[in-house]
Amino acid sequence: MKRSTFPRGIHPPELKEQTAEKPIEFFPPPEKVYVPLLQHFGSPAQPLVKKGDAVSLGQKIGEATSRFSASIHSPVSGKVLSVDDFSHPCGKPVLAVTIANDGQDRRAPEKEVVLNPELLTEDALLEKIREAGVVGLGGAGFPTAVKLCPPKDKSIDTIIINGCECEPLLTGDYRLMLESPEDIVKGAEIIRRITSAKQIIIGIEDNKTKALETVAQHTNGLPVKLSLLKTKYPQGAEKNLIFALLRREVPRGGLPFDVGVVVQNVGTTKAVWDAVCHEKPLYERVITCSGSGIKDPKNILVRIGTTVQRIIDFCGGLEGGADIVVLGGPMMGICQWSLDVPVVKGTTGILAWISPPQARELSCISCARCVDHCPMGLVPTQLAKLVKYNKLEEAEEWGALDCVECGCCQYICPAKIPLVHWIRLGKKLVTNLRNKKSAV
C-alpha cells in the first residue's frame, strides 16, 4: 500500500514499545473526583449542582451555555462536596465540582438504547452528541457537535478519521483501534451521515499496520477507505493530515471545512458511537501512562476527574529521580507543577522522566533548520524575534497565528532557542491586539 505524507516535519524516537502491546486496563474509580467545568475549547460549563447534592453516574453537572462549550457529566455516583476553584492541567485554577464517590456507580435514569442509528435523523444524532458532552479527544478539546455543523455554505465531502497518534510514547489510540475497531467504524459512519459527506478516510501511520488490518475487517459495505501514512511527526495535525491524504491545502487562517473536510480523532469517533447508541456521556477516556519515570507503564480507561497522583500510583509510582510529569505527549504536552491535578477530557497521556541537564541557549546561527522542518511552512526564528521585540503586527503578517505549536522547530534547533515559547506568547498577544481593535 502506498504511504502518504506531508512536507517537512521531524521523526523523533517513537518510544511506544513500553505500552503498545499492553491492553487497556480499567482503572477503579477513586474515592473522590475533581471535575473541572472547563475541559474544552470555548466557554466553561455552568454548574447544575451545589454542595450536598446527590449525583448519579453520567448525570449532567455542568451545562453548556454557548455554542462553543460542552456539557460536563459526573464520572461517579455520590455526593457533591464542593463547587469551587481547583487546580487544572492548564496551570490555573478553574471552577470544578468535587464529588465523593459512593462506590455504587448508580446510573442516571436509563434512556432507550438505539439499536439502529439509521432510524434517527441527522439532527437527532447531533443532539445526542451534544448532550453527551463529546469533544475532541486528541488534545484540542473542540466541541464535536460544533465541528459537525460547518457553515451552510461549506459543503463537506470527506470525513478523515485520525488514527496517526504521532506523538512519541502515546499508544491509547492504537489500543482503541485494536480493541474497539467496530465502534470506531460505526462512529465514523454516524459522522458521515450528519455531515452528508461522500467518503470516509481512516489514516493510520505505518508503525501501526496491525491496527490498520484490524480496522479493515469492519469496513465492509461502507464508503470507507484505509490509508497508510509514513510515520512522521506531526502527521496527525489536521492540516498536515488533510494535505497528506487529499493534497488539499487549508488556506491561511482557514479551517478544514474550507476544503470540504471534517477531521476526527479515533477516540472521539468511538465516543460518538457511545453517545448515540449507548446514551453514554463522555465521563471517561483512555490514556497512556508511560515514560522512563513510570515503574509499570500502562494504557488505562480512567474516569474524568481522577488525579494524576492516583493514576501514577496505579502504575507502580515514579522511578527514583523522576522530576518531570507531562500531561499529553512529550512534544505538545504541558508540564505539571503538582500531581494533584485531574485528568480532563483532553488528557491523552501522563508521562514522567528525569529532567536532562539544562541546555544553554545560544544565538541563532541562521542554519534555517527550523524553516526546513516547520510543517506549516513558517519561519520560526523570525517569528520569535518579532514577538521578543514586540513587533506584533509584523508577527501576524509572518503567520504567527498559523503556528500549531507542534515543537518541531524547537526540537531541531541547535542553538536551543525556546521558539515555541516565544511564538505561543506572540499568538496570545496578537489575539489580544485583534480583540482590542475590534472593540473600538
Boundary of a domain, candidates 233, 253, 278: 278
What pLDDT sits at residue 428? 93
In a domain, 70, yes or no: no
Same domain, 146 and 267: yes
Side-chain half-sphere exposure of 188, counting CA atoms within 13 A: 32
Cα–Cα distances (Å) from 78 to 49, 96, 342, 375, in that order, read: 12, 15, 18, 47
pLDDT in tens, 157-183: 999 999 999 999 999 999 999 999 999
Question: At 436, is the pLDDT very low, low, confident or very high (cuts 50, 70, 90)?
Answer: confident
pLDDT in tens, 67-98: 899 999 999 999 999 999 999 998 889 999 99
Q: At what angle do helices 172-179 and 181-195 cross, to 10 degrees?
A: 90
Q: Per the structure block, which three cell numbers stand in for 143? A: 466541541
What pLDDT sits at residue 1? 72
pLDDT in tens, 99-128: 999 999 999 776 666 667 888 899 999 999
Domain carrying residue 213? 113-278
In a domain, 315, yes or no: no
Number of domains in the chain: 2
Query: In CATH, what number is assigned to the domain containing residue 267?
Result: 3.40.50.11540
In a domain, 207, yes or no: yes
Boundary of a domain, candidates 232, 258, 278: 278
Boundary of a domain, candidates 240, 262, 278: 278
% of the chain at pLDDT higher than 90: 88
Same domain, 378 and 270: no
What pLDDT sits at residue 258? 95
In a domain, 403, yes or no: yes
In a domain, 425, yes or no: yes
Same domain, 121 and 262: yes
In a domain, 336, yes or no: no
Same domain, 251 and 396: no
In a domain, 67, yes or no: no
pLDDT in tens, 216-230: 999 998 999 999 999
Same domain, 380 and 273: no
In a domain, 394, yes or no: yes
pLDDT in tens, 274-321: 999 999 999 999 999 999 999 999 999 999 999 999 999 999 999 989
**Cα distance between residue 292 and residue 354, in whole Å:** 8
